[in-house]
Amino acid sequence: MSEFTAGILFRNTKLKSVQAAVQPLSEDFRTGSLNEDWGVILLKDEYLESPETVETVKKLSEAAPLLHFHNAEDHGWGYTIFNEGRITASLYLSYEMEDRFFLDLAQQKYPDRNPHQLGEDITVQLCEEIKAMPEYQEQFTRQFKSLHLDQFRLFQVDVDDLEGIFDLEYIDQLEYSQDLVEEFKGIVEIQEMTWINFETDLDNQ
């Protein structure tokens, strides 16, 4: 079973303000502690799919800056920063985008073969061709257009370190796509955000 993690993070220095803001809400929202520096709001609408949930989170961010973090191991990961009633930064990095390009190209070049059984040499060659495609490069780069890493200063995070790992050349040389999210969690100091979601009992973590 693949990991899925989602929650809204805030600095523990804002714990009382956040608890007071969440308290009137339904049981679909609850707060807890992630580690010494971070608290977390777990919510039923974990991926903020409902416009009503987004508006509620915007309202909560009037009490404290909030960082919505999500990681679906097989699909992608990302974050959204809410501050003073607005969305001020966001990222969604898809693992599936390259897979779609790969399957399309493999089907074109090897229509009679299983794309998952082409062998390492052919697979590497196809991946290199994909990364050279202007359409792929445009779609890949577009994912980073709203990073706004300066917003992490709201959480006392080292922005220089974040800029280092979000350099596109650095990302391109990573052996595994999932390595980036782990480096992100390390810099932000939220390593405990693993298998955390609405079903998690934070008191027994």
Better-scored residue on pLDDT, 109 or 39: 39
Better-scored residue on pLDDT, 66 or 203: 66
| Tens-digit pLDDT profile for residues 147-168 | 999 999 999 999 999 999 999 8
| Cβ neighbours for 64, distance < 8 A, ≥ 6 positions apart | 10, 11, 14, 17, 18, 21
Residue 2 pLDDT grade (very low, low, confident, very high; cuts 50, 70, 90): confident
| Tens-digit pLDDT profile for residues 25-53 | 888 999 999 999 999 999 999 999 999 99
Helix (H) or strand (E) segment spanning residue 39: strand 38-43
Could you tell me which of 144, 146, 186 has the C-alpha nearest to residue 169?
Answer: 144
Question: 3-class SS at 59?
Answer: helix
pTM: 0.91
Residue 74 phi, psi dihedral angles, 5° rounding = -95, -5
Show me where the domains of the chain are located.
Answer: 4-94+146-204, 96-143
- Alpha carbon distances (Å) from 185 to 30, 102, 147: 22, 28, 15
Better-scored residue on pLDDT, 127 or 21: 21
pLDDT at residue 205, as a whole number: 61
- In terms of Cβ atoms closer than 10 Å to its own Cβ (0-12, 13-18, 19+), residue 77 is buried
- Which amino acid, one-letter code, is at 128? E
